[in-house]
Structure 1
Amino acid sequence: MKEEALTSISDITHIEARLYLTRLHKKKYARRSVARKTSSLRSFFKFLIREEHLSVNPFTTVSLPKQEKRLPQFLYSEELEKLFAVSDLDTALGQRNQLLLEILYATGIRISECCQIQLQDIDFSLGTILVTGKGNKQRYVPFGSYAQEALEHYMENGRKELLAKGKQPNARTLFLNFRGDPLTPRGVRVVLNEMVKKTSSTLHISPHVLRHTFATHMLNEGADLRVVQELLGHSSLSSTQLYTHVTKDRLQQTYNQFHPRA
């Protein structure tokens, strides 16, 4: 407004709105950032109209930039094996870290969901965990034999040791930090970064990369898209369709199998 010599917000028209977006593009903002700013301003002017301060929304005719379609980052089996091999299973923190990795990869749950797991949410007989997701929606997710073995080891040894260091002797949270308090999402990120450093890898890994890896590996092995949607806790199938890409190995395997001159 200052650059265009506008003194009142009521002076803004669709022309100024487009000029604003042009400036954002010149400053090389990412499409996602431009879309977020545009959406925020559109909502703000909608609010002003509702409160009868304005009569026209200058951002109504401005279209959001088309989003870039990027393949989600995921790990190959070889990279996962390196991560699974770094934890010292003779220590309490090593047992916890191993379980953390196993659970995130075995279930594909979000980092926030992982940190909220309570002991009573785990059903060893069925091999499932009751997970509370976005909007307090609950779902059951299964975990495999590797995760169960790591879970039993941690529960019998490492967790008891960590719990003894805390001030809550009756705490029911599954994952604890070195002080015996509940592990936070930020703490999980630190743990994963340290594990990557031990593999001498240049990979950038986050809890969400393990979620991407879970979904990618499930679909590449032939899992039904609707089932993966349910396991991930997606309300929309379009969110799950992001993972319908295939790995280079699968592409090469399919090419060699079906191309006449492969």
Structure 2
Amino acid sequence: MTEQTDGRLAAAVESFLEHARHARGLGEQTVRAYANDLDQLVRFAAGRRVTDARGLGLELLRDWLWEADQRGLARSTIARRSSSVRAFTRWASETGVLGTDPGARLRAPKGAAHLPRVVSSDQVRTVLDQLGALADTDEPGPLRDLAVVELLYAAAIRVSELVGIDVVDLDRTRLTVRVLGKGSKERVVPFGVPARDALEAWLDRGRPALAARAGAAEPSALFLGDRGGRIGVRSVYRIVARALDGLPGAGPNGPHTFRHTAATHLLDGGADLRAVQELLGHASLGTTQIYTHVSSARLREVYRTAHPRA
């Protein structure tokens, strides 16, 4: 195709839907699915101040899928969104709305394993010891990274909750932090002395140094990115992926590994299931019960490898 279409994103989406409905003859259910997914993309892009189709890039599309993943949307929904946007950007590049096709390299996040990844207490200690050794240099980046991982594991919070924490949400005396969970539900969760020490080092030495280096800083955010703004979800993913790199075991290397690990370690240590539910901010006890299955799976694996008649 060589047809030139309106470059405004919302208008381009409408033109694509008309093309899908009439030129391609797709069923109304398929067109409605495209419309719903692409409406979400238009809204997300507008939040990033992108209203022109030419502003679409691979990073924005990836961020859109990551945001959906962090809101807990089903993997099938995210896969459908990825398919919808690839169809749209392919059409947009063919009609001249876009010069290139950013969706050609877009992939939906891989489906999670049936059971979440859990690392052992010794492995957690190894990761934190390595981060602590880097933080001993008093460089702001390593000080922040140590505090991030310590808090993720100590408080068993979601990455979306961590990046939203403000300095005033932290109570270093009571060793608690206030977070905003799913459904805008607020809760206060405890953390331990090692996490407090890492947070104090970050707040007293790391954060001011990073803010000075960046030339400015987001005044309220607990954790800052390298440019002084509030740290983003993807930056935390990179921090955790580096920390977990090289550890034995299969599964994702994301921040939720520490949330899963903390919940499993609490249950292994005798914590009450309902107390763990409250700590994690789960609306349903059934959601928390997956961690009892994780513990059972680990027990079976230990039995299989250690018992002479397994």
Superposition TM-score, scaled by structure 1 size: 0.67
What are the within-5 Å matches in structure 2 for residues 82-97 of structure 1? 82-87=126-131, 88-89=134-135, 90=137, 91-97=139-145
**Structure 1 residues 154 and 247 mapped into 2: Cα distance closer, same or farther (>3 Å)?**
farther
Which letter maps to 2:243?
A: M
Q: What's the counterpart of residue 53 of structure 2?
A: none
Alpha-carbon offset, residue 123 of structure 1: 1.0
Alpha-carbon offset, residue 166 of structure 1: 3.5
Alpha-carbon offset, residue 134 of structure 1: 1.1
* Gap regions ≥5 residues in structure 1: 1-6, 11-30, 38-67
Q: What's the counterpart of residue 121 of structure 2?
A: 77
- The C-alpha deviation readout for 1:55-99, integer Å capped at 9, x for no partner, is xxxxxxxxxxxxx99222111112212211222112111111111
Q: What's the counterpart of residue 211 of structure 1?
A: 259
Alpha-carbon offset, residue 196 of structure 1: 2.9
Secondary structure of the structure 2 residue equivalent to 1:74: coil
- The C-alpha deviation readout for 1:182-201, integer Å capped at 9, x for no partner, is 1100000111122234x576
Q: What's the counterpart of residue 165 of structure 1?
A: 213
- The C-alpha deviation readout for 1:16-67, integer Å capped at 9, x for no partner, is xxxxxxxxxxxxxxx9639x87xxxxxxxxxxxxxxxxxxxxxxxxxxxxxx
* Gap regions ≥5 residues in structure 2: 1-24, 29-73, 81-111
Which letter maps to 2:155?
A: T
Q: Does 1:224 align with 2:278?
A: no
Alpha-carbon offset, residue 247 of structure 1: 6.1
Alpha-carbon offset, residue 124 of structure 1: 1.5
Secondary structure of the structure 1 residue equivalent to 2:144: helix
Which letter maps to 1:123?
A: D
Q: Is the 8 A contact 1:130 1:139 kept in 2?
A: yes
Q: What's the counterpart of residue 50 of structure 1?
A: none
Name which one, 1 or 2, has greater alpha-carbon Rg. 1
Identity %: 37
Secondary structure of the structure 2 residue equivalent to 1:190: helix
- The C-alpha deviation readout for 1:220-249, integer Å capped at 9, x for no partner, is 111011111111111111110110132677
**Structure 1 residues 71 and 92 mapped into 2: Cα distance closer, same or farther (>3 Å)?**
same
**Structure 1 residues 116 and 9 mapped into 2: Cα distance closer, same or farther (>3 Å)?**
closer
Secondary structure of the structure 2 residue equivalent to 1:86: helix
Q: What's the counterpart of residue 40 of structure 1?
A: none
Secondary structure of the structure 2 residue equivalent to 1:239: helix
Q: What's the counterpart of residue 33 of structure 1?
A: 76
Q: Which has the higher contact order (CA 8 A, sep 6+)?
A: 1
What are the within-5 Å matches in structure 2 for residues 24-173 of structure 1? 33=76, 70-87=114-131, 88-89=134-135, 90=137, 91-166=139-214, 168-169=216-217, 171-173=219-221
Q: Is the 8 A contact 2:218 2:228 kept in 1?
A: no
Q: Provide the aligned C-alpha RMSD in A.
A: 3.4
Cα distance in structure 2, aligned partners of 1:190 and 1:132: 22
What number of residue pairs does the alignment pair up? 205
- The C-alpha deviation readout for 1:138-192, integer Å capped at 9, x for no partner, is 0000000110011111111011101113354561101112222211000001111
Cα distance in structure 1, aligned partners of 2:115 and 2:217: 44
**Structure 1 residues 180 and 9 mapped into 2: Cα distance closer, same or farther (>3 Å)?**
closer
Q: Is the 8 A contact 2:218 2:224 kept in 1?
A: no
Q: Is the 8 A contact 2:223 2:230 kept in 1?
A: yes
Q: What's the counterpart of residue 16 of structure 2?
A: none
Which deviates more from structure 2 when the two are superposed, residues 154-163 or residues 79-88?
79-88
Cα distance in structure 2, aligned partners of 1:84 and 1:200: 13
Q: Does 1:195 align with 2:243?
A: yes
Secondary structure of the structure 2 residue equivalent to 1:149: helix
Cα distance in structure 1, aligned partners of 2:129 and 2:253: 16
Cα distance in structure 2, aligned partners of 1:201 and 1:253: 15
